[in-house]
Amino acid sequence: MKIYLDACSLQRPLDNKNQIRVALEAEAILGILALCETGELELISSEVLVFEIDRTPQLSRREYGREVLAKAKAFVSLRDSLEQRARTFTVAGVKPLDALHLASAEEAQADYFCTCDDRFLKKARNLPDLKTKVVSPVELAEEFEP
């Protein structure tokens, strides 16, 4: 199974865990990353993810993001067809950077696209002809429960 974690879900384990939801999502992401390390899941990286992680102002978060992405088994580079697909998502109301993430996941034939962003999650689930299942971290973790 191929998994694409957007930047907010990728970095969820570093967030303040005072809220139950954040703590649950952080644990879910750590579990997913553990499955990626054992080879049970395949983590996908992209030029868009690297761009967003490199823009992270906090050095520790930037370094963590780079370490996680270095373990990815697949890398998606930007190309015209990907940008065109992203435009169809922006027309439907998805923010441009989120649209590029989603198009990258599709390009890599990801089975799951994971995000913590509720607004994006809602919009992405309503996109027609989406080839990747969009889920929250907890929903993603539940997919792999025995």
For residue 22, the domain's CATH number is 3.40.50.1010
pLDDT score, position 128: 86
Please give the model's pTM, rounded to 2 decimal places: 0.95
List the pLDDT tens digit at each of the 146 positions of the chain: 999 999 999 999 999 999 999 999 999 999 999 999 999 999 999 999 999 999 999 999 999 999 999 999 999 999 999 999 999 999 999 999 999 999 999 999 999 999 999 999 999 999 989 999 999 999 999 988 76
DSSP secondary structure string for all residues of the chain: -EEEE-HHHHTGGGS---SHHHHHHHHHHHHHHHHHHTTSSEEEEEHHHHHHHHT-SSHHHHHHHHHHHHT-SEEE---HHHHHHHHHHHHTT--HHHHHHHHHHHHTT-SEEE---HHHHHHHHT-TT--SEEE-HHHHHHHT--
Cα torsion 80, 120, 133, 96 to 10°: value is 0
Domain count, the chain: 1
The per-residue pLDDT for 101 is 97
Distance CA 61, CA 64 (A): 5
Domain of residue 132: give its range. 2-143
